[in-house]
Amino acid sequence: MKHSYLILLIIIFILSACSNGIKEIRTIEKDISKEVDDRISDKTEYEKLLKFEDDPNGRSNGIKQLIYSDTDALKTIKLYFGNYNDINIWKQYVTEKYLKFVFKLWIDKAEENSIEENINLYTSEAINEQLEKLVSFKIIWVEHVGDDEKLVLVERGWNKDYTTPLTYKLVNVNGKWLIDERMDFDWVSHWGIS
């Protein structure tokens, strides 16, 4: 009888924790929705993701882990991509290393300019429609590399009606998650899937 009572208490505790996790995500969603560009939609369906215990290959669902274990990292991802079309907003969610990388991609001789000069040049390119506009994003997979590092696979949707997947590395800097790098990470080879 004592064991049954203990098991019942454990089940109630687990269900309560799950419920609180969903409520916390809903609260974050509400807060974030006020802070993102209306033209960008996050198509991640949290309720569906929470129903899956494991993926078909036996790995636990990284997004589910992120939702329950690190809502600050989730918020950084959502606010970065939710404001992707405005560098003056998203720059606060990235490291200086990442900013310099982006500038090298889009600005000739970026290393000769100050960060503020590059931000102005990048902004003028965006205003002149030289940079594609992000219209949607979906968090596909998260791998927890360590306490201070995560890899996040994101599918990005563009205004020309196509999508591209890309992996972003998040690092924890002084208690705040920031995007530090983006890479073409081969998830298929990494997991040994053919």
Higher local confidence (pLDDT), 141 or 116: 116
Q: What is the Cα–Cα distance from 98 to 181, expressed in whole angstroms?
A: 6
What pLDDT is recorded for position 130?
Answer: 75
In 3D space, the residue among 72, 59, 49, 62 whose CA is nearest the CA of residue 148 turns out to be 72
Least confident of 26-35, 69-78, 110-119: 26-35
Higher local confidence (pLDDT), 171 or 64: 171
What pLDDT is recorded for position 62?
Answer: 57
How many other C-beta atoms can be found within 10 angstroms of the C-beta atom of residue 154? 20
Q: What is the Cα–Cα distance from 112 to 115, expressed in whole angstroms?
A: 10
Tokens linked to 61: 């669902």
Tokens linked to 168: 């972003």
Q: Which pLDDT band, with edges at 50, 70 and 90, does 91 fall under?
A: very high
Arithmetic mean of pLDDT, 3-21:
58
Please provide the average confidence, as pLDDT, over all residues in the chain. 78
- Tell me which amino acid residue 190 is: H
Sign of CA dihedral 122, 90, 98, 158: negative
Arithmetic mean of pLDDT, 163-182:
94
- pLDDT of 178 > 50? The answer is yes
Helix residue ranges per DSSP H, the chain: 2-33, 46-51, 62-69, 71-82, 87-90, 96-106, 115-127, 187-191
